[in-house]
Amino acid sequence: MAISKNTISWGIRYIISFLFLLSAVAKLYPSPYFAISTFEVKQLYPMGFSEGFAPYFSRILIGIEFALGLLILQKNFLRTVVIPATFLLLAVFTTHLTVETIANGGNSGNCGCFGSLLPMTPIEAIIKNVVAMGLLVWLFIILPKSNESKGNFWVLTTMTFAAILALFMIAPMQPIESNFSISEPETTSIDSVAVDTVKVDVAPIIAKDTISKIEVKKEEIKVEVNEPEKHKSGYTQYFSKIDTGRKTLCFFVPGCDHCRVAAKELTELRKTNKNFPEISIIFMNEEADLIPDFFKEAGAEYPYKIIEVIPFWKVLGSGKDTPGVKYLWNGNEYKYYWGINDNKFDPTDYQKLINKSYAELKK
């Protein structure tokens, strides 16, 4: 029994609708503001979008995805507006992904099409988009050329503006000035000040006898210290003593399972080494109420600060992901572990690293 064109057209429309609605919803996972901010930092900033424009563009884009996912299921201006608009959006996405893949010379990372819910490589996303574009062409061909001039254009505009407005309500923008908030008073202990060269003034010593007075002049004594020169790490706004001595600086998300594993591994290492570099944590302001549970699972509590989502990604570093662990000595960075792949935190490697002297680190 042959399948009718009407059945095929509805099948295609359901598939396209599902892909667009899934894409929009996935960009809001696990929470709208966190997901959209992450999308802005990881996808839009590298493309050249400014901090002021990116929040508007991201919400409008996701709103349009929502609207197209719904509009493909209605009849008003389907062939003349909805299908061409959907095809055009997919074409823009595909062109960007193609250029990005060629420029980066590979096919790694998450393209962001389905957020962190369903990570996809650029090549996988391109294939998905090309298939969807093919289905749209098929749909355009088999749909009857009815007189769409009698359609209600207000259905399209109302649904589109409603979807965009809903995004601004679900994930309201925060002022750029609110970069971070301090959650805890700093409890970092004060380390002894490290120096490379210490000048010591020796007070004059006068020996009195019946013959003469001997004055010992001031001498400059050099004391060689086996430590690196002090360097500004850029993190003193969070921990004032971070550039003094040996430190372990962590970048964690309270609800991140991988971050909790890394924190637990650091606690275990700390138990076996009394001279372990002091641990400080910068938390992302996402599910901050889970911090007590985070420390409970880690097995210890550490000094920490909480900063907002976008500033957190900036501090973590472009292209980096959580968990992040840095080894600092007098503000100098000697190792940076990040993410859950090749560069992830390795407790065995870190144990060997922190046991090395300054002379060994310079090699």
237 & 312 share domain: yes
20 & 105 share domain: yes
Could you list the mean pLDDT of each consecutive 10-residue stretch along the chain, which spans 363 residues?
A: 85 96 91 90 87 93 96 93 96 89 69 78 90 96 75 92 95 64 36 36 45 44 70 93 96 95 96 93 94 96 95 91 96 95 94 92 82
For position 202, what pLDDT does the model report?
A: 41
129 & 244 share domain: no
For residue 176, is it within any domain? Answer: no
Are 290 and 213 a contacting pair, CB within 8 Å?
no
For position 2, what pLDDT does the model report?
A: 67
- Backbone angle region of 48, left / alpha / beta, with phi > 0 → left and psi within -120 to 50 → alpha: left
251 & 136 share domain: no
For position 355, what pLDDT does the model report?
A: 93
159 & 261 share domain: no
For residue 207, is it within any domain? Answer: no
Looking at the structure of the chain, the number of domains it has is 2
115 & 244 share domain: no
For residue 245, is it within any domain? Answer: yes
| Last residue within a domain, chosen from 124, 144, 170 | 170
Domain that holds residue 48: 5-170
| Last residue within a domain, chosen from 170, 186, 209 | 170
252 & 126 share domain: no
233 & 131 share domain: no
For residue 198, is it within any domain? Answer: no
Distance between CA atoms of 65 and 273, rounded to whole angstroms? 53
Distance between CA atoms of 289 and 161, rounded to whole angstroms? 34
Which among 16, 9, 8 is positioned nearest to 71, based on CA atoms?
A: 16
pTM for this prediction: 0.73
141 & 234 share domain: no
For position 108, what pLDDT does the model report?
A: 64
